[in-house]
Structure 1
Amino acid sequence: MVSTRTPGFSRPRGRFTGRSATPTAPVPAAPPTGAGRPPGDRGHRPFPRQRGEEGPPSPPDRLNPARLAGHRGVQLLGCLVAAGWAAGFPIISDLPNQRLWGTLAAPAYLLAGLFCLVLPRRIAARAAAAAALLGAVLVPLVVLVLQGRHQSEVMVVERSARLLFSTGSPYLPDPVVVTDYNPYLPAMSLFGVPRALFGDGNALARLAGDARIWFALAFVACLLASWRLLRPSRDRAPLLPLTVLTASPLVALALVGGGVDLPLIGLCCLAMALAERDRTIAAGLVLALAGTLKWTVWPALPVAVLLLWRLYGRRPAARAGATALGAACAVMVPYVLTRAEDLRDQVVRFPLGLTAIQTPAGSPLPGKVLAGFGPTGHTASLVLLTVSGLGVTIWLLARPPVSAIAAADLLATGLAIAFMLAPAGRFGYLALPAVLVIWPRLAARRWSGARPPVRPVCLLNQAGPALPVR
């Protein structure tokens, strides 16, 4: 009889169908902890996770996001809060687009709350989400697009694509008024290409060419991809949670008015999910794309690199970082060499309030309030911004993230602090850190940012008797 079993390796998966001339002896059970083991043996320890291997489904938390959102009371409360938030814009806002959105969105949220209250449970959530999406996103977006109304950033992005085709640069030389400035990096011009191609000759062309449509499509595509990467079991489509998130005031108002930050949110979520799944090249390319849209998302690069380093080691982390930097440099270097002054003035100095023409972005956030006190307050705002950035960096190095949730939380914290302390900022910017906190938890079905469990490859110290074969 010849034994084919090697100590330290598990039996092959599947049913054993080979026939033997003599019956096989049963494998004895492993001894209890501490019994019959040599000193220092702690029991059965799995090998480290192999590259590309999926872990088992994470055990659901007692208060997981999906279960909590399934209660009628929580759904009704969310609809009422959203309706109250939307109803305030026609009263307090001086922007016509925001007043229009509030006028249409508030009744939609109230109708969604009524659906949550009276419809059968099996259809209540879907009907409420559809009503909110229709009234808070689709109807106001179509109305504004057909009327040619949008926030100034939409016009800036669409103009940058036309300039790129005609002059080779997305930046206007010698800006005179606020709308002449382009505070975005060159890749943001991609979202203006449909307008340059379709024009605005008819209603269909205006709708298909509007940059807000493409901002929203990029946002949805990235969230869907990150959901598939983080979901422990892939048997459920995220249509309902994605609809609820998109129809919420957190995203709906930004999407209808401008939506320029939505691709950044989606790309950051996708980058953290790819890093957790050890997709190093893809994570680097996604980070490069995000970093060439707007410089405020560059903190996502060290967060994702440290996540890869903590989970998989130095080589995957270095590969992702090199990919991101190489791809970003390939996009940025030509503009740095030819348009360095435009990049410095329009992309860096203008958002920080260091140019003669001040950015119109403003909300009563601490940084904006400090900047309102003159040069001393403006300097204090920048100092606080720098100190807070150093603090978040020390936190990142001291406690690197171990999951996509933890990485997104850390990135969201840093971005929220930066938006609050920047000399010019809007409340709408805080949607980016909020979605970073919410979406990975919904996808992974857990609240905690601890490292998810992994599938053991084989067991050590359980050789047992050999399997006899002919």
Structure 2
Amino acid sequence: MTKNLERYVWHVRCTCHEQYVWAGCALVALGLALVSDLGPHRMWGVVAGTGYGVAAALACGERSRPAARSVAVAGGVVVPLVSSVAAGLGQLEVAVVERSGWSLLTTGSPYVAAPEAVSDFNPYLPGTALFGVLPGDPRWWLGGAFVAALAAAGLHRSRLLACPLIALPLAVGGTDLPVVGLMCLGIVLAGQGRPGRAGLALGAAAALKWTAWPALPVALALIAAGRGSWAALRYAAVALIAAAAGVLPIALSDPSGFHRNVIAFPLGLTDTTSPAASPLPGHLLAAYVPGGKVIALVLLVVSALFMAASLVVWPSVTVRAAAARLALGLGLAMVLMPSTRFGYLVYPLTLGTLAYRMRQHRGTSVVPLSQEAAAV
């Protein structure tokens, strides 16, 4: 009774302050429209800022708050997405995914053999090219996969989709969205004691981008803690087979293109540098501190080793703990990477939301087999 009352009071407080949230989102969107030199971002800022402003006005009334969330999603995602697709506006990765899909169909490899300009490089793993093979603009499929994965993970919340960090890539193009969506789904499935399905989800994510790979050991530790070594081995086998099926055929058939695009370019080992240069700590260190790039990489390695050691010393036994650990680890990685951008923060945001969602539901733990047998 007391806990239900606490939840009700928390809900009332959140809804009472919802108009301020949408007003803040409006300021962020309009600010981006003013400072950005990218046409798709400016367009999104104006349209989304208007939508968020209307949502803030509607949220002032108690009965109109559900409508405010719908307006926020429509103004932040749907209208700018339809408008940008119709106008042919989008971030560079949209064109990269389209070209990689066409290249995969015509040459058998999604990579340009001798890339020179930034637009020639495809830093994504081969699985991402499949979104360019499908008909229509890749944004429909990238966003659809993200929303579907979140819905399957039980994280279908309009306020999350309307958040500017998610609404912007949904509208103008974001290859990180299906990756983090599959990561959330894989962690939830691991917490439910479904090693095979968790392996498929995380293996598919690992075939899209390197950023999904930290989720593989986290889910492994989660399953091992609750289901034992055999379930963990089953998960590991399925995940590795799924990831290898999506990566190895291209890596072996076009090793030079794979190395130039997926390894050398993101690490800054090519003559063409990555445009990912948001003013986060890692980039600021690399740009303005003597030896800063080495310092940033050392800090990045230290944080990765710390997170790996924590899996052994304090293995996660709930979805909440696993999602929170991933959110923290990837958050540290995103801010310490020498070449980074604000869009990468979608990983800690979405995984942190999953952890918070599990907190509301008292966490989701993997029930050990011995306890299941005792219950039966």
> TM-score interval w.r.t. the shorter chain?
over 0.9
Instruction: Confirm whether residue 108 of structure 1 aligns to residue 23 of structure 2.
Output: no
1:316 paired residue number: 231
- Of 61, 67, 74, 1:118 maps to 61
Q: Deviations over 1:210-257 (max 9, x none)?
A: 111111110111111111xxxxxxxxxx7xx52221122121011112
1:187 paired residue number: 127
2:170 paired residue number: 255
Percent identity over the alignment is: 41
Once the two structures are overlaid, the 10-residue window that deviates more, 394-403 or 448-457, is 448-457
**Structure 2 counterpart of 1:144, which letter?**
S
- Of 128, 138, 159, 2:99 maps to 159
Structure 1 runs of 4+ with >4 Å offset: 59-67, 448-460
**Structure 1 counterpart of 2:72, which letter?**
A
Instruction: Confirm whether residue 407 of structure 1 aligns to residue 311 of structure 2.
Output: no
- How far apart are residue 156 of structure 1 and its match? 0.5
1:68 paired residue number: 11
2:187 paired residue number: 272
CA distance, structure 1, for counterparts of residue 352 and residue 3 of structure 2: 18
CA distance, structure 1, for counterparts of residue 8 and residue 283 of structure 2: 34
Contact 2:223–2:366 (8 Å) recurs in 1: no
CA distance, structure 1, for counterparts of residue 236 and residue 225 of structure 2: 14
1:81 paired residue number: 24
- How far apart are residue 459 of structure 1 and its match? 7.5
Contact 1:403–1:450 (8 Å) recurs in 2: yes
- How far apart are residue 338 of structure 1 and its match? 2.1
Count residues in correspondence.
Answer: 373
Residue 330 and residue 90 in structure 1: after superposition, are their counterparts in 2 closer, same or farther (change >3 A)?
Answer: closer
Contact 1:353–1:359 (8 Å) recurs in 2: yes
- How far apart are residue 162 of structure 1 and its match? 0.4
- Output aligned runs, 1:400-439, within 5 Å: 400-439=315-354
Once the two structures are overlaid, the 10-residue window that deviates more, 419-428 or 322-331, is 322-331
Contact 1:411–1:433 (8 Å) recurs in 2: yes
Contact 1:290–1:297 (8 Å) recurs in 2: yes
Residue 224 and residue 188 in structure 1: after superposition, are their counterparts in 2 closer, same or farther (change >3 A)?
Answer: same
- Of 361, 375, 392, 2:307 maps to 392
**Structure 2 counterpart of 1:85, which letter?**
V
- Of 36, 43, 47, 1:93 maps to 36
**Structure 2 counterpart of 1:392, which letter?**
M
Residue 344 and residue 117 in structure 1: after superposition, are their counterparts in 2 closer, same or farther (change >3 A)?
Answer: same
1:131 paired residue number: 71
Residue 66 and residue 418 in structure 1: after superposition, are their counterparts in 2 closer, same or farther (change >3 A)?
Answer: farther
Partner-residue secondary structure (3-state), 1:112: helix
Residue 444 and residue 218 in structure 1: after superposition, are their counterparts in 2 closer, same or farther (change >3 A)?
Answer: farther
- How far apart are residue 117 of structure 1 and its match? 1.1
- How far apart are residue 194 of structure 1 and its match? 2.2
CA distance, structure 2, for counterparts of residue 328 and residue 383 of structure 1: 28
**Structure 1 counterpart of 2:139, which letter?**
R
RMSD between superposed Cα atoms in Å: 2.5
Residue 214 and residue 459 in structure 1: after superposition, are their counterparts in 2 closer, same or farther (change >3 A)?
Answer: closer
- How far apart are residue 186 of structure 1 and its match? 0.5
CA distance, structure 2, for counterparts of residue 405 and residue 351 of structure 1: 31
- How far apart are residue 66 of structure 1 and its match? 10
Contact 2:266–2:274 (8 Å) recurs in 1: yes
2:140 paired residue number: 213
Give the helix-richer structure, 1 or 2: 2
> Structure 1: which 5+ residue stretches go unaligned?
1-58, 196-208, 228-237, 461-470
